[in-house]
Amino acid sequence: MARSLEVLEGGIQTTVQDYPGRRGMLARGFFPAGPMDHFAFRAANLLVGNPEPAAGLEVTLGGVTLRFDAGATVAVAGAEAEAAVDGERIPLWESRRVAAGSQLRIGVSQGPGFRIYVGISGGIDVPPLFGSRATYTMGALGGFEGRALKAGDRLALGGESGDGTPRRFRPSARPPYSREWEIEATRGPHAAPDFLTEEDMQTLFGRWWSVDRNSNRTGIRLESHLFQWARTTGGIAGGHPSNILDNSYPVGAVNVNGDLPVILGPDGPTAGGFICAATVAHAGFWKIGQLRPVGDRVRFREVTVEEAIALDRELDERLTVASLESV
Amino acid sequence: MAEKTIKSPYPGTFYRRSSPDADPYVTEGDPVQPGDTVGLVEIMKNFYEVKSEESGVVNGFLVGNEDLVEAGQDIIVLRD
């Protein structure tokens, strides 16, 4: 009989995700989807002995209960939250064996952080769509029926490959969580002097931005800000200087829509008619999944493309079995 | 003596009304029963009902309409 788990409580948005998601589909209108915090997701997968492409769960905020119908190795990582197996508190960033019939409960997170990831040995076995099991919320595609999980859903689990040994992700290899996040980003593609002034760019990278409550997997809304702009209108593209002729958007773009900067998340739009003043580095992109949309603040730290690539290599090196220790 | 309070289940923006033109769900002096809706919390473009888990009478609000609240934050104080 196939292994499975049942959702007893789905929380506000729990989705099936895999890393790196649905890559290579930008030209067809698909952002990659995948975990909004790829660091915690990948750590949870590593802890349960899964191969990197295995699908797991992204839990937004918490308030989720799962019942395992088969024994499994599980690990919970990400935002601070109370996790318990059959009522017994378990530490985050550690794997453990749970017996058939066990219930994993994840309480509502008080922060810091906003998303919690559950790695399960064998992975979630939903049918891949265009090469990925990730849920793309804006397109209502992929994952489990293209939607967030709700009570009564039963998810098939794949065959286990790990040895089930409990492991801990070394505390020194875990990223710090905070209510104030410095996020690495490169300048452009639409920056100074063509679209914004140099002073605007210094403001973009210099100030702290509050995260709006209506941020989600599509985008992280920041605060409205009156930029100086290098031009008075968008010309043939529109009346506002943030308007450009429709253009493709990079994943993690800091898209300025009128006066409102929005960081495009994993389920964002692939194209549109607003400038992208900066682009979050892949090594910093995981942080946008942990921004709590009730008062967390963000500051962008400017890096070069070369620095962004080097940071990504360092991050990849931390996400290997060398960061695991026995419990 | 511990006061009875109603807490927000989620972080977000607290609203006392279902829409700008509606009456508040509850005001000071109103009786509430377990399961009664006393407000809404908006987060990630969705609205969630804030429900009382206790019975009592609304004694006062600890947060204002449209204030940001955290998960588990006390919003309303009840008296017997």
Render each residue's pLDDT in chain A as its tens digit; 327 residues. 589 999 999 999 999 999 999 999 999 999 999 999 999 999 999 999 999 999 999 999 999 999 999 999 999 999 999 999 999 999 999 999 999 999 999 999 999 999 999 999 999 999 999 999 999 999 999 999 999 999 999 999 999 988 899 999 999 999 999 999 999 999 999 999 999 999 999 999 999 999 999 999 999 999 999 999 999 999 999 999 999 999 999 999 999 999 999 999 999 999 999 999 999 999 999 999 999 999 899 999 999 999 999 999 999 999 999 999 999
Comparing CA positions, the residue from A133, A164, A169, A160 lying closest to residue A35 is A133
Pair A101, A19 in one domain: yes
Interchain contact A15–B (C-beta under 8 A):
no
**Rounded distance, CA A72 to CA A99, Å?**
7
A323 lies in a domain?
no
Closest of A181, A182, A199 to residue A191, by C-alpha: A199
Domain that holds residue A243: 180-317
Q: Are residues A313 and A214 in the same domain?
A: yes
Domain assignment present for A322:
no
Q: A110 and A22 share a domain? A: yes
CA–CA gap between residue B16 and residue B27 (Å, rounded): 9
What domain range includes position B59? 4-79
Of A175, A207, A231, the residue that ends a domain is: A175
DSSP code of residue A322:
G
Number of separate domains in chain B: 1
- In B25-73, the DSSP E strands lie at 31-32, 37-43, 46-51, 56-61, 68-69
Q: Taking CB atoms and an 8 Å cutoff, what residues of chain A touch B72?
A: 108, 110
| A112: contact with B, CB 8 A cutoff | no
pLDDT tens digits along B13-62: 999 999 999 999 999 999 999 999 999 999 998 999 999 999 999 999 99
Could you tell me which of B60, B45, B47, B43 has the C-alpha nearest to residue B19? B47
H or E stretch covering A271: strand A271-280
Total domains, chain A: 2
ipTM rounded to 2 decimals:
0.87
Residue ending a domain, among A121, A141, A175, is A175
Burial class of residue A100 (count of CB atoms within 10 Å of its CB; 0-12, 13-18, 19+): exposed
A226 and A110 fall within a common domain: no
Q: Which two tokens stand for residue A92?
A: 């985050």
Closest alpha carbon within chain B to A109? B71
Nearest to B9 among A108, A294, A295 (CB): A108
* Whether the Cβ atoms of residue A257 and residue A225 lie closer than 8 Å to each other: no
Q: Do A61 and B70 touch (CB under 8 A)?
A: no
Say if the Cβ atoms of A215 and B44 lie within 8 Å: yes
